[in-house]
Amino acid sequence: MSVFFDVHGLSFLDCGPYSFSLERGQCLGISGPSGVGKTQLFRALSDLIPSTGEVLVNGVSKAQLAAPRWRSQVTMLPTDSVWWYDEVGAHFTSPESLAYLQEMSPQLGLSEQIADWQVSQLSTGEKQRLALLRSLQIRPDILLLDEPTSALDVHNTQLVETLLLRLKNKEQLTLLWVSHDQSQLARVSDRILYMAKDKMTSVAPGVGD
């Protein structure tokens, strides 16, 4: 298979340069100590902070596209989600996206009526799962997952992993997954990179932070 997501000499802040590539439908796990810059790596990949080097999706460079279009293809799911409106459904702005929310919510252990709920009534874990659905409903090519199950119990973590791996395998969604949980990375990743300030190295599953 050919390379789908290609990163060459990416540097940002005081981190890098980093180079790696993925085929379409792969999951790359990223491990590393707290504070090394994993979140900032995702911000650089999704054009949220300045960086140097080159990032390409299917041969098209980040530099060739306006930032909003790039971010619709390379979408970052942060650990802590941001909500602008009082009701959940207001964040799903079309009939299609609301239908997607209703269809997919039960797969993550959420109510089919959650669109009518107030954001202020949501638990941290509910917000985390809804933020995932909010990212998925725009149909990105690549999803950058920054500790996507950090607020979830074992059961709901399993639901999230199952959904994402199904989308990876059936719809060829490409994933980059940051986690401090090495057992999770071993479950979900095709390969794992360990991130230091100036390089990334391949590691075997189970090699910790």
Domain contains 108: no
Within a domain: 68: yes
Query: pLDDT band at 209, cuts 50/70/90?
Result: low
Spatial distance between the Cα atoms of 45 and 14, rounded to a whole number of angstroms: 15
Q: Which domain holds residue 55?
A: 3-82+140-203
> What does the pLDDT average to over 181-191?
96
**Residue 154 counted as domain residue:** yes
| 110-141 burial: b if 16+ Cβ within 10 Å, else e | beeebbebebeebeebbbbbbbbbbbbbeebb
Taking the CA atoms of the chain, what radius of gyration do you get in angstroms?
17
Whether residue 133 is contained in a domain is answered as: no
- The answer as to whether 46 is a domain residue is yes
Band the pLDDT of 203: cuts 50, 70, 90: confident
Give the residue among 190, 177, 148 at the shortest CA–CA distance from 38: 177
Tokens 């639901």 belong to: 159
Total residue count of the chain as it appears in this document: 209
Number of domains in the chain: 1
- What's the whole-number mean pLDDT along residues 85-92? 97
pLDDT tens profile 64-78: 999 999 999 999 999
131 within domain boundaries: no
Q: Where residue 29 sits, what CATH number does that domain have? A: 3.40.50.300
Instruction: Using a cut of 0.85, tell me whether the model's pTM lies above it.
Output: yes
Q: Please determine, for residue 206, whether its predicted confidence score (pLDDT) is greater than 80.
A: no
Under a CB-based contact definition with an 8 Å cutoff, are residues 41 and 35 in contact? no
Residue 107 lies in a domain: no
Is residue 168 in some structural domain?
yes
Kindly tell me if the per-residue pLDDT of 205 is higher than 90: no
Phi then psi for residue 93, to 5 deg, are -95, 10
Grade residue 208 by pLDDT with cuts at 50, 70 and 90.
low
